[in-house]
């Protein structure tokens, strides 16, 4: 069974850094891209970026380029999303999702809730 297990909820202050994780299991982790998707409270889904664990090739949405960093450690089947300086506007649920053969997202993590508040 394909599973994406995300790290737990975070409460941070503005200006702090954060790195969250997404661990894949039940499939060949290096064979599928992993995407990150943001969902602000009460709002819709926003694609942030995507990484190919096989060679760490990474693409970012223009809306998130330079604001976050996506990385991967294929030795432990884990993708990461990180910020160097959080803002209150980063408060949201963040999902990782596996990319499928028709450019759909066929499996999703449970989400990581990030709250940024002073």
Partner 1 sequence: EIVLTQSPGTLSLSPGERAALSCRASQTVSSSYLAWYQQKPGQAPRLLIYGASRRATGIPDRFSGSGSGTDFTLTISRLEPEDFAVYYCQQYAGSLFTFGPGARVEIK
Q: Are 93 and 36 in contact (CB under 8 A)?
A: no
Report the residue number, 74 or 99, with the smaller CB distance to partner 1: 99
Span 45-104, contacts to partner 1 by CB under 8 A? 45-47, 50, 59, 61-62, 95, 97, 100, 102-104
Distance CA 51, CA 58 (A): 4
Distance CA 100, CA 50 (A): 12
Q: How far is the CB of 7 from partner 1 (least distance, A)?
A: 14
Distance CA 73, CA 25 (A): 13
42 binds partner 1 per the rule CB under 8 A: no
Q: Which residue reads 């963040």 in tokens?
A: 94
105 binds partner 1 per the rule CB under 8 A: yes
- Positions in the binding site for partner 1 (CB under 8 A): 35, 37, 44-47, 50, 59, 61-62, 95, 97, 100, 102-111
């Amino acid at each position: 069974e394909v599973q994406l297990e995300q790290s737990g909820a975070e409460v941070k202050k503005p200006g702090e850094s954060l790195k969250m994780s997404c661990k894949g299991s039940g499939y060949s982790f290096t064979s599928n891209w992993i995407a990150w998707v943001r969902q602000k409270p009460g709002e819709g889904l926003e694609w942030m970026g995507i990484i190919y664990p096989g060679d760490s090739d990474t693409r970012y949405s223009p809306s998130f380029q330079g604001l976050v960093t996506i990385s991967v450690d294929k030795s432990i089947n884990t993708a990461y999303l990180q910020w160097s300086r959080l803002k209150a506007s980063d408060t949201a649920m963040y999902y990782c999702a596996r990319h499928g053969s028709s450019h759909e997202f066929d499996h999703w993590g449970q989400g990581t809730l990030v709250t940024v508040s002073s």
